[in-house]
A = this chain, B = another copy of it.
Amino acid sequence: MSAIEIPEGSLFGLDNLPYGVFAARGGPPRAGVRVADSVIDLAAALRDEVFAAPKLNPFMAEGPARWAAARARITELITAGDVPAGAVHPLRDVELRLPFEVADYVDFYASEHHASNLGRLFRPNAEPLTPNWKHLPVGYHGRAGTVVVSGTDIIRPTGQRKGPDDPVPVFGPSIRLDIEAELGFVIGAGSALGTPVPASGFADHVFGAVLVNDWSARDLQAWEYIPLGPHLGKSFATSISPWVVPLAALQAARVPLPGQDPPPLPYLRETEDWGLDIDLAVEWNGEVVSRPPYKSMYWSPAQMLAHMTVNGASTRTGDLFASGTISGPDRAQRGAFIELTWGGTEPVTVKGEPRAFLHDGDTVTITATAPGAGRARIGFGEVTATIFPARP
Show the binding face of A for B, using Cβ within 8 Å. Answer: 103-106, 109, 119, 122-123, 130-132, 135-136, 138-146, 148, 155, 157-160, 162, 168-169, 171, 193-196, 217, 220, 223-233, 235-237, 262, 265-267, 307-308, 310-316, 319, 391
Contacts and interface: CB of A to CB of B under 8 A. Distances in A.
The A interface, classified by DSSP as helix, strand, loop or mixed, is: loop
Contact of A313 (B143, B160, B307): B143
A387 to B, nearest CB: 12
A248 to B, nearest CB: 26
7 contacts: A104-B143, A132-B160, A136-B160, A141-B143, A159-B311, A171-B267, A220-B311
A120 to B, nearest CB: 13
Contact of A228 (B159, B230, B308): B230
Contact of A235 (B229, B311, B391): B311
Given A229-B230, A262-B168, A160 B135 contact: yes
A140 B311 CA distance: 19
B143 A142 contact: no
Contacts of A132: 160, 162, 169, 223-224, 226
A144 to B, nearest CB: 6
A206 to B, nearest CB: 16
Given A160-B135, A160-B136, A225-B227, A310 B232 contact: yes
A159 B73 CA distance: 42
Which of A162, A226, A231, A310 neighbours the largest number of chain B CB atoms within 10 Å of its CB?
A: A231
A227 B224 contact: no
Given A143-B141, A145-B103, A311 B157 contact: yes
Number of copies: 2
Contact of A146 (B105, B140, B313): B313
A142 B145 contact: no
A160 B267 CA distance: 10
A103 B159 CA distance: 23
Nearest to A226: B130
Contact of A148 (B103, B143, B148, B193): B193
B145 A315 contact: yes
Nearest to A104: B145
A315 to B, nearest CB: 7
B224 A138 contact: yes
B229 A312 contact: no
A157 B231 contact: no
Nearest to A146: B313
A138 B391 contact: no
A229 B226 CA distance: 8
Given A227-B225, A312-B158, A142 B141 contact: yes
Contacts of A232: 307-308, 310-311, 313
A378 B192 CA distance: 36
A63 to B, nearest CB: 18
Closest 9 CB pairs of A and B: A229-B229, A157-B311, A141-B141, A140-B228, A236-B311, A228-B229, A155-B194, A232-B311, A235-B313
A159 B136 CA distance: 10
